[in-house]
Amino acid sequence: MHIHTVFFWLWKTTGPEQIRQFENGLDLLTRDPNVMERQIGKPAATSRPVIDSSYDYAVLLKFSDLASHDAYQAGQAHQMFLETCASLWSKVQVYDIENSA
């Protein structure tokens, strides 16, 4: 299994309409047929020194394997998301996990 996590920091000047655009983009993006499971959210209300809550949105996607992930990356939904939403974030950080258990 391949797990793809993405953290987004939106521009501080992002308005409500742009946030709706971003949220709709995430929803469409994560409905790609290669995605087995999806989670979209904002930072939890937890507070410990090791927790980074500085991001605005996070996405966790599960794929059956790396090939499915790569097909998703090249797919139309992903490309459309980049075209329509990339200007809305100031930073993006990706962590991929190859689950061997």
The identity of residue 56, as a single letter, is: D
At residue 80, does pLDDT exceed 70?
yes
Q: Which residues are within 8 A (CB) of 19 and not within 5 positions of it... i.e. 6 or more apart? A: 10
Q: State the pLDDT confidence band at 101, using cuts at 50, 70 and 90.
A: low
Render pLDDT for 5-20 as a digit per residue (tens, 0 to 9). 999 999 999 999 999 9
Q: State the pLDDT confidence band at 100, using cuts at 50, 70 and 90.
A: confident
User: Would you state the pLDDT for residue 99?
Assistant: 82
Supply the pTM of this predicted model. 0.92
At residue 90, does pLDDT exceed 80?
yes
Q: Residue 17 has what DSSP assignment?
A: H
Contact 93, 7 (CB under 8 A): yes
Q: Name the CATH topology of 2-98.
A: Alpha-Beta Plaits (3.30.70)
DSSP string of 67-88, one letter each residue:
HHHHHHHHSHHHHHHHHHHGGG
Q: Which residues are within 8 A (CB) of 98 and not within 5 positions of it... i.e. 6 or more apart? A: 1, 2, 3, 66
